[in-house]
Structure 1
């Protein structure tokens, strides 16, 4: 079976963002190790996801046979995003920190893939994620130094785990707005980890 990787980028600097550059390096190494593998790219800045509205919510919760043409189009768009992430064994995310959290474009993407009965379901034992058996690597770029014990990391773990993706590794690139040795050490450590993962 052909290996598949989904890369999701959310930096406003697009391919020039530090999180994007490191994610791209990892993807290039992955392609070398998986020459017949398929890479699916989702750039949330080049192709913004529409914000979730009441109309979307109603479309998702209307039985298929009762949906209007407009509702069908909304659900179809969400289905495409879910099909991409469902097909991938490896998910690579470039995630800068904006105002102490994830970019709004990434949050909007999450809004479209979190669908009851499709990517998670409620059981007698609580919610159960359905996007399982995936390795997620998050390249988290930050201007300051915040470490792993931060709300941004906690939210990503909580959301990804909610839809079934519990094997998550964070590679932090911190201090990007701070000149000096600490910034360079962080970049070097991130690059070493990419090599180790390849």
Structure 2
């Protein structure tokens, strides 16, 4: 079984979302000793979608120019990682009620018509079916799941669009206000995870 861990916090050692995603990976490894984990830190060096990429998105690969192919190489790598994953774990610190800009850049690079979703007369269809996703959502002041939390519903909608409908939220919100209580609750939820269908 393959797991893809996507961390998006701008912090490193002091990041709560990174600590919780690591604890979740540890818990899953206890249940699945052969788990293969791919780590993807999107907090640094992710390009924003540009004109060259967009031009390449909507034409067949054989017709892309060498410049377009080079521009799409990293996006292709990210998509391949996602396609290979059985389990997706995303560390999501809430910044100003939404997701970090780095995570939005990642989203724009993995939403690829013909690879991760398709359109038909019946409407859009996600192509990443059969995967399990965990959103490890942390915040200083925003209550996870409240009307102020724009990150969680956005990512749930986005993953559903890509075909990933089995989404579990592990939240540790309002850490600046409530101290260790949300963190303890998140850790307890992680310890309750016993198995993920391969």
User: TM-score scaled by structure 1?
Assistant: 0.92
Q: Matches of residues 166-185 of structure 1 in structure 2 within 5 Å?
A: 166-178=165-177, 182-185=178-181
- What is the DSSP-based 3-state SS (H/G/I as helix, E as strand, rest coil) of the residue aligned with 1:197? coil
Contact 1:174 1:183 in 2 (8 A): no
Give the Cα–Cα distance (whole angstroms) in 1 for the partners of residues 179 and 173 of structure 2: 7
Deviation at 1:187, TM superposition (A): 0.9
Alignment RMSD:
1.3
CA gap 1:15/1:70 in 2 versus in 1, 3 angstroms = farther
Question: What is the alpha-carbon distance in structure 2 between the residues aligned to residue 29 and residue 100 of structure 1?
Answer: 29
Moved more, 150-159 or 80-89: 150-159
Partner of 2:91, secondary structure, is strand
CA deviations 1:39-67 (Å, max 9, x no partner) are 0000112x421000111100112322222
Contact 2:9 2:100 in 1 (8 A): yes
In the alignment, is residue 39 of structure 1 matched against residue 4 of structure 2?
Answer: no
Question: Could you list the runs of 5+ residues in structure 1 that have no partner in the other structure?
Answer: none
Q: Please say if residues 14 and 43 of structure 1, whose CA atoms lie closer than 8 Å, have aligned partners that are also in contact.
A: no
- Runs (4 or more) in structure 1 with deviation over 4 Å come to none
Q: Is the 8 A contact 1:121 1:129 kept in 2?
A: yes
Structure 1 residues 45-194: aligned runs within 5 Å? 45=43, 47-149=44-146, 150-178=149-177, 182-194=178-190
Unmatched tracts of structure 2, length 5 or more: none
The 2-side partners of 1:48 and 1:100 are apart by: 23
- TM score, norm. by length of structure 2: 0.92
Question: Deviation digits for residues 121-175 of structure 1, max 9, x if unmatched?
Answer: 1122211100111111011111114231432211111111111111111111112
Name the CA distance, whole Å, in 1 between partners of 2:189 and 2:173.
Answer: 14
Corresponding residue for residue 6 of structure 2: 8
